[in-house]
Structure 1
């Protein structure tokens, strides 16, 4: 999944490793934390495979090391297109789904629906497993373990509802227009002074 995330971000623009790590954390932080220990070996592997290229950039200060800027190659663009179109079960897992969802705007409509449906099946199975565990352990669990199971059950039910809504929206309009809201723009609420 790290390969998909790196290629997807480099598709937007070239960037150096630190910036890439910040963007990965910002984009996918809720799903997964990235470390330099996993990022730089992945960058080297992608470079060896010809999917990204490195540019040392202008060395403005002789005493400082130049930042290595990574950019996508044509082969990297092809690989990204393959990865976002992949609807295999690895894309339904907690980590896989989060990364794939972050790039849904570049994922073919049919693949989006298949991934959403696969994720829904996986979460429904998890939900049923939790229900069975709670039913079988009726009276044998302490209250904290019961609360933990209840939290997991409620979270699974909420995710299934959300997935149903997203799937319905995808089926109704598989090619939604990008959001027209300007970034960093605040909406004035009633009674608030206008400072602009």
Structure 2
């Protein structure tokens, strides 16, 4: 499974099946609720993903006993469950804290499974996401300053709305980062830095 979108869907499927085995319809509903919050989710991409995960041995199919199915003519629902290899792959995906985890496509999915993620990895992803948004803020502010005179009032309001949305997310990330840092064990260097720079755990970007 290649590409950023394929990786996002793989993480979403493995993470969902880590919670409990699911049949296809239940999995589709769960993924729609999860992925739909962050990007459009195409059902057409789910079954190719499931076939690849089955071929890779990361998930397995179970055909539940259903005595009513032969009588009604309906097919029994296939249940998908995580294999031992799938659990290992999920943990591997959850340790990835590089730039791909900071992007709009994947940050929300990584965040959704933070309860299964190590604290240090959570912090790196949050800080990386904040850094990425700070870059975006600088770019938008610079572009807005250059084009303000040429924009009509509606386009200008739309630009401001986008800017405010990013600023709100940065403030939210600041709060999460401060909370994560409080939960991490302090090292001698950390304690020295905080003594020299009171309140340095939280960066105020406003």
TM-score, L = length of structure 1: 0.86
2:35 corresponds to:
28
Partner secondary structure for residue 60 of structure 2? strand
Q: Residues of 2 paired with 1:22 and 1:167: CA distance? A: 31
1:103 corresponds to:
113
RMSD: 1.3
1:159 alignment partner, one of 158, 166, 169: 169
1:192 corresponds to:
none
Partner secondary structure for residue 160 of structure 2? helix
Deviation at 1:17, TM superposition (A): 1.0
Q: Unpaired runs of 5+ in structure 2?
A: 1-7, 186-206
Deviation at 1:173, TM superposition (A): 1.4
Equivalent runs, 1:23-172 vs 2, <5 Å: 23-60=30-67, 61-62=69-70, 63-172=73-182
After superposing on structure 2, the runs of 4+ consecutive aligned residues of structure 1 that deviate more than 3 Å are none
Partner secondary structure for residue 139 of structure 1? helix
Encode CA deviations 1:63-109: one digit per residue, 9 max, x unaligned. Answer: 11111100000000000000011011111111200000000010111
Would you tell me which structure has more helix in proportion to its own residues?
2
Q: Is the 8 A contact 1:92 1:122 kept in 2?
A: yes
Aligned residues: 175
